Chains A and B, each alone.
Chain A
Amino acid sequence: MSVILSVNNMEKYYGSKGSVTKAVDNISFQVEAGEFVGIMGASGSGKTTLLNCISTIDRVTSGEIQVAGRDITKLRGNALNKFRREELGFVFQDFHLLDTLTVYENIALALSIRRISPGKIEKSVRDAARRLGIGDILNKYPYQISGGEKQRTASARAIIGQPKLILADEPTGALDSKASRMLLDCFTQMNRELGATILMVTHDAFTASYASRILFIKDGGIFSEIRKGEEDRKSFFNQIIDVVTLLGGDLDDAV
């Protein structure tokens, strides 16, 4: 298996001289192609900062982040935009859909930004939408559909460009449990059937249990790592709870 994402000695400090906060403190890890990795941690543990740096929305203070062998911390300007639209796909807690566009157009936009020829867009959008079970709401606007449907629209938009890596930031954060389960099934399907590599940040143990490997972050560093291996989801979930308990009270809301 080839390494898609490689984070090496990454650090991110906030603040100026005198009062420095280390949000991410010397973290290193790798994600291989086709993996579904979860990152867990309490609020303030640095997991969102880590994700922002990987997604090039934020800049690292030191260290490097390689995606498919390229150090993205060195990218600037339009090269960065190009990297973002061609190698990454995003799913956010609050969907980040454009409310003036229909579901169809929201998904298509990801392709038209990549200057894909309009003829090909139509088919790809319908394909992706069908896979994620939103084929019959393509002409609806975001305000007309449920949160779960919105998040699946965002997922379709993330996967449609066949990115190297899909980054999901608390994707179930705004969803009820039924919608969460549907979305996570979609993620699993994307991961297994389409071979999508997914890096998901969450503080919810149930959501995390869908991943194949979980990194626990505490105070800006990696606290521990567990793999699902051949276990079923149920026992993996229990294993996660054990680590969370070990981590201390700050992940109380995890269950």
Chain B
Amino acid sequence: MMLFKLSLRNLKKSFQDYTIYFLTLVLGVAIFYVFNALDSQGVMQAVSASTREIIELMLAMLAGVSVFVSVILGFLIVYANNFLIRKRKKEFGVYMTLGMGRGSISRILLGETVIIGLISLAVGLVIGVFASQLMSILVARMFEVDMTSFTFVFSPGAAGKTVVYFGIMYVLVILLNAGAVSRYKLLDLLTAGRKNERVRMKNPVLSGILFVFSLGILAYCYASVLGIFGNVNQNQMMVLIGLGSVGTFLFFWSLSGLMLRVVQARKGFYLKELNLFVFRQMNSRINTMVCSMTVICLMLFLTIGVLSCGVSVNQSLNAELEELTPKDVCMTKSMESGEKQSREDADKGIETYLSGEGFGLSEVLREGYTEITSYTLPGLTWESTLGASKEQVMEQFPMLDWTQREELVPLSQYNRMAKLYGIPTYELSEDEYLLLCTFDSMKAIRDMALKAGASLSVGGKAYTPKYAECQEGYLSMSSSRTVLGIFVLPDSAFENGELVPYCNYLAGDYRGDSDEERMDLEERIETATKRTPIYVISKMALRESSVGVGAIITFIALYLGVIFLISSAAVLALKELSEASDNRDRYGILRELGADQGMIRRALFRQIGIFFLLPLSLAFVHSLFGVQFVNRMLVLLNGGSQMEAILFTAVFIAMIYGGYFLATYLGSRRIIEE
């Protein structure tokens, strides 16, 4: 009991040291709860079945991400705890000289961890429960659900999960603490605070060379991700990430050796007020800070990348969807192999099929709906058109069925469809063809063939490409640009009996004015086409799933972003605060020498500011290039307006990271002015 009291008193006494650690734990618990409690929120009851499926997928992904997040938080907790324990070596030394056993010290630590753990869990959960109510408003907005009936929801499942995950982390900390205490030697403990500070200067020449070298590495990485040395595949990307990390480390390492030299050379600046103290101070610790700065910089890079990509992917998804789904509904029907059909039948494929089932399309679709047919040519397979660049294609599309036939469509039919969709129509002379392809990486490969003037032989007649590159256009609506290749030929080419009808496409608008009516009609079509070879693609369904994908991306980005951000900011904050208490004597000397309070505060602000700003700035530069790369990877053609994504990320980081910075500065100030 006495030991417990001692723990309690210790905590109270060092509460200021623990504040940031404690707040970070609370934040971690709250975030963990919020993202795991998404399923039980009121909104989820109000969404449609297809949306619910998406949300279930999202929850599964969030559950996976949660494991990863708990690993990160676990590292943070273990690190922070270790750090705080090390600060108290002397205190333990005193206990031991008074005859307290290691077991008792372990029990004191156990008591402290349990108290902190319980309080942070409780407070975090309470905050989490309230924050998740706010979250449900966000969810409602994303899934376009109106929250008419707001209910306060508590998720026991998520709370239980939070307690279990954090419980495991705390138990881990307790075990590690016990191990640490048993390793300490009394002498080391007592003299812990009195170690002579050695100031080590790095070789300036070596630092200079490494600095240039690190800039070179980073420049190479940047250039590579921008595609200056050609496209980057996944393996190369891993190499680049590794190189970038090494470059980052070398950058900080060499900068730490150079910074003081550079500043010292500028006497007017160096000898002004407390500048020499500030830079000496930083120099004395930057050696030990290089590793953590590197890790923090990379974490921040990840945060910025994840957040801004999440937001911009979401935006471009929506923009693209608007462009690719001009009509309410689109149906496709592939011919069964061996099915013999006359041309006329083929042209009426879907409509005739449905009327055969007793379903009149004209009842549900407005006048002007259009149906067309595409064809294949035996022998005209992917292998025959792409054979020349087989290796390259294999690399990008390893699952490709090489015997699959290319799809061909008569010009007049394509133009009819294009007119309906409101996309570009084309003209061809009798011996020309053109190729539609919107999927970027495929387009690049096909363009090469077109540029070479690859001719196409149909019915003994040769056709040459009208354009030296693939054109925009599609037959079926979809949520993204995924046309891999459709040949458009003059109608005359299709008079040849060799061509086999391949697929019917039908598109149109519903005969309905309100969303409810349209929804009804869509349901009727869905029932009618069930158990038929007809595949229905509707604007509404596409939109729902796109919103869903956007939401998944946004939530995961937010989740990871916040966790990365608070972890790195907390590590920095703890380091700085402990530094402040180590430096109390030094600031005391400055006061004895008559330094003004303002002068001292400025010096402190600068030190902490530089330590917070350095990794952030490099991370920012990293992400300028990194984000571009991700955008290209995801083939985001509409990623033009990224201002919003960048702005959102900037505000987000400024709030959290800036908050930690401010808390650290104020905390340090209080410590040195005590």
Contacts and interface: CB of A to CB of B under 8 A. Distances in A.
Contact of B594 (A82, A96, A99, A121): A82
A1 interface: no
A233 interface: no
B599 A99 contact: no
A118 interface: yes
Nearest to B281: A100
Contacts of B595: 81, 85, 113
Interface in A77-103: 77-78, 81-86, 88, 90, 96-101
Contacts of A90: 592-593
B576 to A, nearest CB: 16
A112 interface: yes
A81 B283 CA distance: 27
Contacts of B284: 100
A101 B282 CA distance: 11
Interface string B258-283: 00000000011011111111001101
B199 A141 contact: yes
A108 to B, nearest CB: 6
Nearest to B198: A143
Chain A interface helix/strand/loop/mixed: helix
A77 B196 CA distance: 34
B352 to A, nearest CB: 88
Contact of A113 (B196, B268, B586, B599): B599
A85 B597 contact: no
B589 A98 contact: yes
Given A112-B271, A118-B271, A81 B594 contact: yes
Contacts of B495: none
A118 B589 CA distance: 21
A118 B593 contact: no
Given A118-B267, A143-B197, A112 B275 contact: yes
> Interface centre among B198, B593, B597, B599, by most A CB within 10 Å?
B593
Given A57-B592, A100-B280, A118 B270 contact: yes
Measured as residues with beta carbon below 8 angstroms from the partner, the interface class of chain A is 20 to 34
Nearest to B588: A96
Interface in A122-160: 122, 141, 143, 157
A17 interface: no
Interface string A101-113: 1000100111111
A64 to B, nearest CB: 21
Interface in B555-607: 586, 589-599
B271 A115 contact: no
Interface in B166-209: 196-199
Contacts of A122: 267, 271
A232 B277 CA distance: 44
Contacts of A96: 589, 592
A57 B594 CA distance: 10
Contacts of B197: 99-100, 143
B582 to A, nearest CB: 11
Nearest to B197: A99
Contacts of A119: 267-268
B contacts with A: majority SS: helix
Nearest to B280: A100
Most chain A C-beta atoms within 10 Å of own C-beta, residue among B267, B586, B594: B594
Nearest to B282: A100
A190 B219 CA distance: 58
- Among A55, A88, A111, A112, find the residue whose CB has the most chain B CB atoms closer than 10 A: A112
B180 to A, nearest CB: 28
Given A105-B280, A141-B199, A143-B198, A78 B597 contact: yes
Chain A CB within 10 Å, residue with most, of B198, B275, B281, B595: B595
Contacts of B199: 99-100, 141, 143
B117 to A, nearest CB: 37
Q: Which of A86, A100, A105, A119 has the most CB of B within 10 A?
A: A100
Contacts of A111: 271
A109 B276 contact: yes
A101 B596 contact: no
Contacts of B274: 109, 112-113
B171 to A, nearest CB: 40
A112 B589 contact: no
Given A96-B589, A98-B586, A85 B594 contact: yes
B277 A98 contact: yes
Nearest to A89: B593
A101 B592 contact: no
Given A100-B280, A100-B281, A122-B267, A81 B591 contact: yes
B191 to A, nearest CB: 15
A81 B587 CA distance: 13
Nearest to A87: B594
B592 A112 contact: no
A85 B271 contact: no
A118 B272 contact: yes
Nearest to A84: B594
Contact of A118 (B196, B268, B280): B268
Contacts of A121: 271
Contacts of A157: 593
Nearest to A108: B271
Nearest to A77: B597
A113 B592 contact: no
Most A CB contacts (10 A, CB to CB) among B284, B596, B597 go to B596
A110 B593 contact: yes
Contacts of A100: 197, 199, 277, 280-281, 283-284, 586
A77 B270 CA distance: 26
A81 B589 contact: no
Contacts of B591: 81
Contacts of B599: 113
Contacts of A85: 593-595
Nearest to A116: B271
B579 to A, nearest CB: 12
A88 B594 contact: yes
Contacts of B596: 78, 81-82
A57 to B, nearest CB: 7
A181 to B, nearest CB: 26
Contacts of A112: 271-276
B598 A78 contact: yes
A113 B589 contact: no
Contacts of A78: 596-598
Contacts of B270: 118
Contacts of B283: 100
A212 B595 CA distance: 32
B674 to A, nearest CB: 15
Centre residue among B276, B277, B599 by max chain A CB count within 10 A: B276
Given A77-B597, A113-B599, A118-B271, A143 B592 contact: no
A123 B272 CA distance: 15
Contacts of B275: 112
Contacts of A101: 276-277, 280
B594 A108 contact: no
A34 to B, nearest CB: 23
A99 B277 CA distance: 11
Nearest to A104: B276
A101 B281 CA distance: 8
Nearest to A101: B280
A90 B270 CA distance: 24
A122 B594 CA distance: 20
Nearest to A114: B594
6 contacts: A78-B597, A82-B596, A101-B280, A111-B271, A113-B595, A118-B270
Given A96-B592, A101-B280, A113-B594, 17 more contacts: A55-B592, A57-B592, A81-B594, A81-B597, A82-B594, A84-B593, A97-B589, A98-B280, A98-B589, A100-B277, A101-B276, A108-B276, A111-B271, A113-B274, A115-B272, A118-B272, A143-B198
Interface of B: 196-199, 267-268, 270-277, 280-281, 283-284, 586, 589-599
6 interchain residue pairs of minimum CB distance: A85-B594, A84-B594, A118-B271, A100-B284, A100-B280, A99-B197
